[in-house]
Amino acid sequence: MSGGVDSSVAAALLKEEGYNLIGITMKTWGYDDFPLKDSGCCSLEAIYNARNVATKLGIPHYTFDFTERFNETVIDNFIKEYMAGHTPNPCVLCNKTIKWGVLLDRAKELGADFIATGHYARVNKDESTGRYFISNSHDSNKDQTYALWQVSQEGLGMTLFPLGEYTKPETRKMAEKLGLKTAHEPDSQEICFVPNNDYRELLEIRMPGIKEKLDKGDIIYKDKKVGTHKGFPYYTIGQRRGINVSAGKPLYVTKIDSENNKIFVDDVEGLFNRSFIAKDINLMKYEKLSGPMRANVKIRYKDIGSPAIIEQISDTEINVAFDEPKKSITPGQSAVFYEDNDVIGGGIIT
């Protein structure tokens, strides 16, 4: 229970269905570390909201402190990825290591049969193979399957998504009808542990002096130095603003060289590529891909997806070849493969 409307309504729906519920809120970052973060997911305000909803529903509520584990896995990885010139997606890793990691372990210790969340997604099972997979929710605007591709088979087998058949407006109406305080809570649009929604601030908190150390690195255009930048971690593929190079036309970041503190820029055409390799794959619908297959591939959360051929080239890697060139394929982001509405699996773009 994050304190938001989605998990609140999910709990209410399950209570109506007769489930015996325990409400859990996770504390995942230290308030002393980020004193300016006083709202949003996992904040003190969110914990109080979740507790109020649990009290109204008549269910016990607990707050579990996973700060150390979250710091070791999600935050450390976030910083490591940016320092490698990548653009990470911490919500994907949090789902794997925290929600369907330490929380799942704690749920089993408590004797729970399932964990349930307010995600907009659906869990299905192929009875012929026994494999679980997730499918798109009823609300295409709020669908969250992209961020769930790393959940294990064990985790999926113990998961309920009560909101998978509803739209967000329907969820808010149900919250109003139930008289829940969270009915009109705004959606969280930021990363929970990033101060002021600016990851650069987090890097500077965790790595004092980084700004001065990496300032004035080279900007390369067509093999020539055309300016200096503020430090490679402060840029991402496809970025246009903040480059400050006069070329008489828009230039975009197309490559980041973390070892030499260089960023490469190009015309918009330089942002397009046809293929990439995804590593650290997790397959859901199939245990293994026996050969090339067609899929719709998303390379970022709000991506509608593009047709491609995917082929498993090792136990941990899949090659993706788009039918048409794709813009801003970004190392560190997740690539998620769909067969119609079903998630085949996903991987990290290299």
Catalytic residues: 94, 192
Q: How far apart are CA 78 and CA 90, in angstroms?
A: 6
**Strand 217-221's sheet: what is its strand order?**
224-229, 217-221, 262-266, 252-257
The answer to whether the beta carbons of residues 2 and 61 sit under 8 Å apart is no
Please calculate the CA angle 53-192-37 and round it to the nearest 5 degrees: 90
Rounded-to-integer distance, Cα 245 and Cα 243, Å = 6
Tell me how many degrees the CA angle 260-263-268 measures, rounded to the nearest 5: 155
d(CA 284, CA 81): 25
CB 350 within 8 A of CB 165: no
- Which of 81, 26, 131 has the alpha carbon at shortest distance from 232? 81
* Assigned token pair, 179: 């008289």
User: What's the start-to-end Cα distance of the chain, in Å?
Assistant: 34
Rg of the chain over all Cα atoms, to the nearest angstrom: 21
3-class SS at 225?
A: strand
| Other CB atoms within 10 Å distance of the CB of residue 14 | 18
C-alpha count within 13 angstroms, C-beta hemisphere, residue 297:
32
